[in-house]
Amino acid sequence: MTNSPRKGGFGLLGATVLLCLPSLFAVFTSSAIAQSGGTGSSALWFMFQVSQYVGSIGIVVAAALVVLKVSEGQISRIAIGLMTISVLAAIFLQWYAIHIYRSPWF
């Protein structure tokens, strides 16, 4: 490993945030279903399930990207920190979405 300064990485931060966005969408759809008293449309339920599964995959991919970039050591620590915060926030949002609306199937 060379002693070159760490710089950049904010494009990867954008990619990480994009991978974590379905978790936010899961919170919104879960909240809409919960406010409708459980009589929400099947489209909302479908969107909740899809965003939940896509969000889970996005979290895994984003976490792997963070671990990969930390091990390389080439991008700035600020970018790594923000990427880590976005992955942790996505994990919390995913947990929160599941607990707002408890699916009757589980």
Give the pLDDT score at 85: 95
For residues 28 and 44, what is the distance between their CA atoms, to the nearest angstrom?
10
Tokens of 67: 């671990």
pLDDT of residue 92: 95
User: pLDDT tens, position by position, for the chain (106 residues)?
Assistant: 456 667 777 888 899 999 999 999 999 998 888 887 756 678 888 898 999 999 999 999 999 999 998 898 888 888 899 999 999 999 999 999 988 866 555 5
Distance, C-alpha 98 to centroid of its chain: 13
pLDDT the model gives residue 84 = 94
105 alpha-carbon distance from chain centroid: 23
Rg (CA), the chain: 17
85 close to 63: Cβ distance less than 8 angstroms? no
Residue ranges per structural domain of the chain: 11-100
